[in-house]
Amino acid sequence: MKCTKCGGKAVVPIKRHNAAFCAEHFFEYFENQVERAIKEHRMFRRGDKILVAVSGGKDSLAVWDVLLRMGYEAHGLYIDLGIGEYSQRSKEKVLKFAEQRGATLRVVSIEEEFGLGTPEFARKAGRPACSACGLNKRYLFNREALRGGYDVIVTGHNLDDEAATLLGNILNWNVGYLARQSPVLEATAPNLVKKAKPLYRLTEREIASYCVLRGIDYIVEECPMAKGAKSIEYKYLLNQLEELSPGAKARFFFGFLEKGRPHFEAEQEKVEVRPCQVCGQPTTAEVCAHCRMLQRVGAAAAP
Ligand code: AMP
Ligand code: ZN
Ligand code: ZN
């Protein structure tokens, strides 16, 4: 297998592009895809303050790494979810990564913030763990970005994540979610920070290759609380499809962004948002879903 660019020994085949690259040209390809995502969706510009939400997994460490290499001012935010050894190990990976690069890292702990780790928190909230955890993370991403004066929050979502979410949204015809599923979410209300997913053009396999070739040490195990999640089954099915028809995943998601999403967006009724009476983050109710969950759990509502 030869590199499509230089004819040298290729180490990463990319079937959907009918290409293969040596390490050097794979890095070039990777950065080009990230650059294209940033430009096409006007995610951020040089000089913007970027907060990268890092879990210790391959995707978020890869996006932090590539943004630093490209010269962006990118700080990390790690949320310690209090999920036993899994949280311990993922935190170690993030701390090591930041230390090696002299990068700035903010760390927030769910136990310190709300008095309980994620498993007990979810039980008390009467919600599935991933739903309670997702609400906590989204709330803290936004709060920390506001406190630190960041222009944008970056997450590590990749093409596999986005295609799986799209499949789930279509199977259930969640038209509201279909209108909003996008590589960038603008700051459409006061106290809301813009969000961006610069890896949405890259697959999980490509990102894992990037980490291995760059020597990025990441936590391989999935969150133990996410076992049996639907998204894992959707990813499996999409990979089967990709085997039969290379490029299917990209056509499915990129085609949706170009041709599908505008229709759902146009159909959306405009909802009025206002600041939550407790925390000030935007909501359609008087008190936001996160603060209502905290009240149920009996945790001190963080202002
Ligand atoms: P997930 O919902 O676990 O697939 O994660 C999606 C994205 O959210 C990751 O790529 C990270 O950018 C971010 N993220 C997930 N968990 C954490 C965490 N514990 N701390 C900070 N960011 C996280
Ligand atoms: Zn090459
Ligand atoms: Zn609130």
In a domain, 105, yes or no: yes
For residue range 27-85, list pLDDT tens digits in order: 999 999 999 999 999 999 999 999 999 999 999 999 999 999 999 999 999 999 999 99
Q: Is the CB of 79 under 6 A from ligand 1?
A: yes
Q: For the purposes of burial, counting CB atoms within 10 Å of the CB of 293, is it exposed (0-12), middle (13-18) or buried (19 or more)?
A: buried
- Has residue 27 been placed in a domain? no
Atom of ligand 1 minimally distant from the CA of 156: 10
Nearest ligand (C-alpha, residue 283): 3
Residue 85's nearest CA partner among 230, 286, 223 is 223
pLDDT of residue 269: 84
What pLDDT score does 270 carry?
83
Confidence of residue 303 (pLDDT cuts 50, 70, 90): very low
For residue 251, what are the domain limits?
44-270
Nearest CA to ligand 1 atom 9: 156
Which residues are CB-contacts of 228 (< 8 A; sequence separation ≥ 6)? none
Q: Is residue 234 part of a domain?
A: yes
| Closest-CA residue to 182 (of 152, 207, 212, 162) | 162
Q: Give the integer Cα–Cα distance in Å for 207 and 14.
A: 12
pTM of the full structure: 0.96
**Is residue 10 a part of any domain in this protein?**
no
Among 52, 54, 222, say which to mutate for ligand 1: greatest number of ligand atoms within 8 Å of CB: 54
| pLDDT per position as a tens digit, 213-243 | 999 999 999 899 987 778 889 999 999 999 9
Residue 286 lies in a domain: no
User: CA 123 to CA 79: how far, in whole Å?
Assistant: 19
CA nearest ligand 1 atom 10, residue: 156
Tell whether 159 is covered by a domain.
yes
Residue 295 falls inside a structural domain: no
In a domain, 18, yes or no: no
DSSP letter for 204, please.
H
The CA 57 to ligand 1 mean position distance, Å, reads 8
Distance from the CA of 154 to the center of ligand 1, in angstroms? 10
Distance 1 CA to ligand 1 centre (A): 35
- We report the CATH number of the domain holding residue 204 as 3.40.50.620
The predicted pLDDT at position 300 comes to 52
C-alpha to C-alpha distance for 12 and 15, rounded to whole angstroms = 10
**Using CA positions, which residue lies closest to atom 16 of ligand 1?**
55
In angstroms, the CA 49 to CA 44 distance is 9
The total of structural domains in the chain comes to 1
